[in-house]
Amino acid sequence: MDDFLVLKAIGRGEYGEVFLVEKKDPHQRERPRKRPRYALKVLNRIHYYRYETNPDAERCALLDLEHPFLAKLYWFWSTRRHRRYVREFLPTAHLFHYLARENRFNEETGRFYAAEIVSVVTYLHSLKCLADLKPENLFLSPAGHVVITDSGIGKYDLQKYEGDDYRGGREYLVCYLICRSMKEMIIEGVGSIWYAI
């Protein structure tokens, strides 16, 4: 944490907080007028105890993931009490904000966002990775594209998935309970978002 200057808190979730930060440069005596800004997510490891026994379910090579609709992860480190993820900072609001404002997107807009969500989910699925799909984890980039910001992306064996290994928002719990396979769960998760938008 000493390498970052915390500017302000920008979000709070069930498992932690998100801060707007700048990376310090130890070689600069004075703070420059403009430095790159990042989103620092701090998660309490107590709430993630179920996944500690499965290293593959934690990182999913997060630093290696590259997709235009996936927020870039720059740094990750872990302590006894916390996990910290430093991601690309998106100054725009999340998809839920725009959805609440519009109540429902028109068909053309909904198709556009749905296609982008399917694109990034297909990419993650090809790597046997999953993300917590819910509007709060879907931001819009300044260019108007959907970007997944979930730091809990995990890697799973799709053939050995057990339905009780749930992670994600409570609002979308039903698809995790009724699906008998990982493939069903992925389809239902995307379907829930698609229906919402």
pLDDT digits (tens, 9 = 90+) for 71-125: 888 988 888 888 888 999 998 888 888 888 888 888 898 889 989 988 988 888 8
Bridge partners, 5 (sequence order): 22
Residue ranges at the known binding site for ATP = 41
Q: Contact, 183 vs 124, CB < 8 A?
A: no
Instruction: Give the mean model confidence (pLDDT) for residues 10-18.
Output: 83
Domains of the chain: 4-88 (3.30.200.20), 95-196 (1.10.510.10)
Which residue is catalytic, options 2, 132, 150, 165?
132
pLDDT of 163 strictly over 80: no
Binding-site residues from annotation:
41
- Whether 93 and 140 have beta carbons less than 8 Å apart is answered as yes
Structure tokens at 12: 């709070």
pTM: 0.70
Residue pair 138/193 in contact by the 8 Å Cβ criterion: yes
- Split at pLDDT 50, 70, 90, the class of 55 is very low
34 exposed, middle or buried (CB, 10 Å; 0-12, 13-18, 19+)? exposed
Reply yes or no on whether 164 is catalytic. no
User: Would you say residue 179 has pLDDT above 50?
Assistant: no
**Beta-strand relationship, 73-78 and 129-130:** unpaired
